[in-house]
């Protein structure tokens, strides 16, 4: 377990009452000691030495172990009023207070469901937002270029006025690309197209 830091977080009498309502009638000190263990588990993923806590361990079980003398926070509780808990080293005091507040609001829960800290939330979000994937399917442009290579004289685009072969479409597309480069446009820049549904619109795409 981490060593206690100098900061303290507190549980108000009203919060202790809410914990009793949801987790059973225990003394203030028992509640504070169990909360200290819950906070330590949240911060480190471990309980006091010699204990086997898991994310699925109900907070009510922690209370029972403290009541029976099986488990002790060993210095995590602080202040004679028995309503303060030391903040684990390296943990933001504000986040620790939010965790205790959350536990007081919903004490009938597994200790592994306590709210994640800021760093853990950012790591989880980064994982959820990791959308990179190996691209298997070719892009439309890659398909077009392949057809232009294999069947340059086949009809590629037809509108109400004309038809263009793959070779003609590729040539016009290259001309447009050079024109845009001359005007200062580069890769990944957005260029608007003001065309009706026509062969020219397809070339612009």
Can you give the pLDDT at residue 30?
A: 87
Model confidence, pTM:
0.54
**Segments making up each domain of the chain, as ranges:** 4-118, 140-204
Grade residue 112 by pLDDT with cuts at 50, 70 and 90: confident
Alpha helices by DSSP H, listed for 24-139, are 28-44, 59-67, 93-105, 118-128
| CATH code of the region 140-204 | 3.40.50.980
Contact assessment for residue 31 and residue 107, using Cβ atoms and an 8 Å cutoff: no
Can you give the pLDDT at residue 123?
A: 63
**pLDDT of 140 higher than 50:** yes
Lowest mean pLDDT among 13-22, 71-80, 169-178, 194-203: 71-80
Name the average pLDDT for the chain.
79
């Amino acid at each position: 377990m981490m060593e206690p830091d100098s900061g303290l977080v507190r549980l108000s009498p009203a919060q202790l009452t809410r914990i009793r309502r949801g987790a059973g009638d225990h003394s203030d000190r028992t509640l504070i000691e169990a909360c200290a263990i819950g906070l330590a588990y949240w911060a480190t993923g471990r309980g006091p030495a010699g204990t086997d806590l898991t994310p699925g361990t109900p907070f009510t079980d922690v209370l029972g172990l403290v009541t029976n003398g099986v488990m002790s926070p060993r210095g995590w509780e602080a202040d004679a009023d028995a309503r303060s808990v030391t903040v684990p080293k390296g943990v933001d005091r504000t986040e620790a207070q939010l965790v205790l507040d959350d536990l007081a609001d919903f004490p009938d829960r597994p200790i592994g469901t306590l709210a994640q800290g800021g760093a853990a939330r950012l790591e989880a979000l980064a994982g959820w937002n990791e959308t990179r994937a190996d691209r298997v399917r070719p892009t439309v442009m890659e398909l077009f270029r392949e057809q232009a290579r294999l069947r340059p004289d086949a009809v590629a685009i037809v509108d109400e006025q004309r038809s263009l072969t793959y070779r003609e479409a590729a040539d016009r597309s290259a001309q447009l690309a050079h024109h845009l480069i001359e005007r200062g446009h580069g890769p990944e820049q957005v260029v608007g197209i003001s065309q009706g549904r026509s062969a020219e619109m397809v070339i612009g795409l």
